[in-house]
Structure formats: structure tokens, C-alpha cells
Structure 1
Amino acid sequence: MNFEELKNFLNEKADQYNAPDFIENDPIQIPHRFSVKQDIEIAGFLAATISWGNRKSIIKSAEKILDIMGNSPYDFVLNYSEKDLENIQDKSIHRTFNGQDFSYFIKQFNRIYTEHESLENLFKVQEPEVNFLHAIERFRNSFLETEKHRSHKHISSPYKNSSAKRIIMFLRWMVRKDKRGVDFGIWENIDQKYLSIPLDVHTGNISRKLGLVSRTQNDWKTVEELDVAIRKFDENDPAKYDFALFGLGVTKELL
């Protein structure tokens, strides 16, 4: 395919998969259960954090998290008791994300929401930055306390060349604005032009098949290589192509 053919193909696929029925089988359904901004942020961040493995099991584990929080994430974060945290400590949550990690996240959320109205404040992109590389690292430094904790591994660092797939997915949910009903677009002060594609096995393999990237690793350098390619198609809304690449990966249409 030449440039225009590839652009049209990806636009068609993005349009096909960026639809409300996408929500039903995706972890984004978890924050879609809420209408209050902070509930959406907390539920979304936790669902994104545990988003590895089978999507059904991710959703099931996220529902367990919501149950523990009484289906009121923001209220729970602000008003939990030490007894609540004790009850969580030994629980199995999702794979290597356990009760200790969940408890740690709750404490960090409490501290952050005491100081900030929204997580958006911790993800601001500053001139002349072109993506979320430094913003993610600034968030990471704000969210994690300096003392080492096992939970640090659940917040990826692009400075260590991680693709930071789960954080980038969460950012798409919060930042990207359209009228299709999938992404929330509730962060008013961050431009979606800075968004990248959440890079995983599926999106990485499809990107290589389409000639969008040449690197073989799914790391931050590849995220930036993919940035360059997809922003030629739409520099103002590059993350919409996540729907195209993800959909092509799930349906195995290009195999």
C-alpha cells in the first residue's frame, strides 16, 4: 500500500472499531460505570494498571477492585480506614498485582487527591515536549514515594525504555476527545496531539506488518518511531489509530 492507501485503510479501521460496542469487552468498561471525574480517573487508572493478560480476566479482577471499594472509588480513597487496608493486604487481586500493591495505590491516591483536584495536574506536557515521555516520569515521581516498594514495578518508566503501554492507554482514555463514546476526554488542559499508541504484542506486530516501525522490540524507542509514522496520517489525533491497530491485531485480519 502507498501512503494514501495506508492512511485510508487505517482511517477506515479506526472508524470501524472506535464505536460504543468496543466498550463491552474492553477494560475501559470499568471507568464507564461512573460519571464523577475522580471516580473515572481512579477506576480507569486501576483498570489500566492491571491490563495485562486475557481481557475477560482483567475485567473480572477490576470488578473485584470496585467491590472492595464499595463501588465508590473516590469516596473510598478519601475516607478509607486502617482496618480497610488491613483487610486488603492479603487479598489476591490480579496476577502479580496483589493486596499490598492495591493498598499502596490507595494511600498514594489519598495523598494526591488531598493536594490536587485531578490526576490531570500530574500529567501536564510542557513546551517543547512532543509526547508524554517526561510527563509520565514526572507523574511517576509524584505518585511513588522515594522509599522503595514492591508496587513501583507497576508504574512503568519510559526513562528505562519501557513502552509504558498501560499508562499510555489510560492517557488515551482521559485525554482523547471525540464524539464516539469510547474515550472520555475529561482532561481539558492536555492536547491529544501528544498521545501515543499503547504498544503491546498485537499493536507492535501489526505496525511491523504495515511497515510503520522497523524496530523489533516493543519499547519506548519503538513508541516514538510509531509516533512519527502515525502523526503523518493525523497529527492532531494520532491515538485514534490505536483502534485500527488493536482491531487488526484481535481479528488477525492481516495474517
Structure 2
Amino acid sequence: MSQETETFEIILGRVEHINASHFNCLSFAKASDMVNGINVRLSNMAGGYPFSFGGVTWHDSETLYLCGEFSDASDKHLSVQKEMQRQTSGFAAKRFVKNKYKRFIRSDFSTFRIQWMLFVVWMKCKDNADFANMLLLLPHNVIIIEDTTKQHSDTKEIWGCTNQALSAKRAEVKKETVRQAKADYPNISKAALKRLVNSETCKVNGIGTFVGQNNLGKILMICRDCLIQGVEPPIDYALLESKDIHIMGKRLTFPTNNTPMSNLHIVA
């Protein structure tokens, strides 16, 4: 990342320190987040963007991604995948299925999880026009960041970034918004108050430094740029092919003549 040239270099797997006061950052933490009036439902957990892959309809990209953790040729992994696919959301698949079978996760999954995520998100982009169009509606020069500050998983700085200063400021705004709303509207409903708080806190940006690999944010930017350019993302298909990935009883095959992931650039 070079602040002098105002260019953000997208390198998957690299830890970033993104100065939010210098770059135009679009951060999201949950499916209800609003940015400039747009509901940025970019989270893997966000429903409403079903897509078909392997002859199966997936409620969200999280569920298919999780199936990659249980993707060898065994009957056990197939049964776990089927149980995941029957869930109504990626959240349910993760909480009620993955956590139950954690001991069966592929020991080599960390060696290909980033490329698998890129592949999964691109499959969603290709098969769900609403999701692809939402990406295209976002300003093309923004740095997309998954804000994982409030998460507790051990991979939160792999997929996203933390920003303690931004979190603290938004907490102040939340407290004041709740106080003012209850004073002005004593009978305000919990749902209305939640929407108001979300709207006001999402307006707070440009504070602190985002720290983490932000691989999901980078993957979304790669997919956005490829949609704009009308090209395929440079997925490392050779790596995925070498991992003998099985989804819903079928071995996936990938083209192996693609070059490995190259560096992409966007102007911030």
C-alpha cells in the first residue's frame, strides 16, 4: 500500500494497515449495514442472493465455503455437506453443523481456503445478477473492508480487519443516539431504535486504522473489478485442482492453464 501514490495494491494474504482518514474505505460488519443510503449486504452470511452451483441451489456463499472445509471424498464429509446445505442460512450451517463436526475439517484447508473463497464468491457473482449489480453500484474507487472488530473468531484478521478507534467512536454515537431517541420518542419500538442506531453509527467513518489481511474485502474488490472489466478473476485453479475437492458427491475439476493470482490495483 502506498499512500504517496494513493494506490491500494490487492495482495491476498498480506496484512494491511489501512489509514481510514487517507483512503476511501467502505466497511461492513453485518448484513444490515448502510453506506450512503445503500444496504451493503456484502457479508457471506447475507441471504437474498441464492445461486446455483454443482446442480444445487445455495442460500448464500458462506454455506458453500464451509462445505470446502469438509470436501474430501469420504461419506462422512458428504453427510456433513448435505446437513449444511439443508440449513436455512450460512449462520445456521456454521453454528449448528460446522461446530459439531470441527474435528473432521480437512487438515490442509488453510492451504487453499483463500482461493476457495475467491472461487465461491465469483460463482455467486456469475449466477446472481442482483449481487453482481450491487457490487457494481458501489463507488469503484472504494476500499471494501470487512470490519471484524467485534468478532471473536481466530480468523477475524484473516478475512477482515479490526479498527478499535472506529469501534469506540461508533459506540459513543450509539449511546448518544439511544439517549436522544428515547427522550424524543419515549414509545419508540426496539426495531425502530435498532434501525436508527444502525443508520447513525454507519455514518461514522474515516477514523482510525484498519489492521488485518482483509481477504474477503479484497476478494469482493477483485470480483468487482473483474465485473467492470468483463474478465475472469485470476483464480489459482492449479492449486484448487490439486486439492481433490468434492462437493455434494462430485469431484470438482478446474482448468489448470490459468496463471496464479496476480496483483490487481485500484485507485483510492
TM-score by length of 2: 0.30
Which structure would you say has the larger Rg?
2
| Structure with greater strand percent | 2
- Tell me the TM-score normalised to structure 1 length: 0.31
Bigger RCO (CA 8 Å, 6+ sep):
2
- Larger relative helix fraction: 1
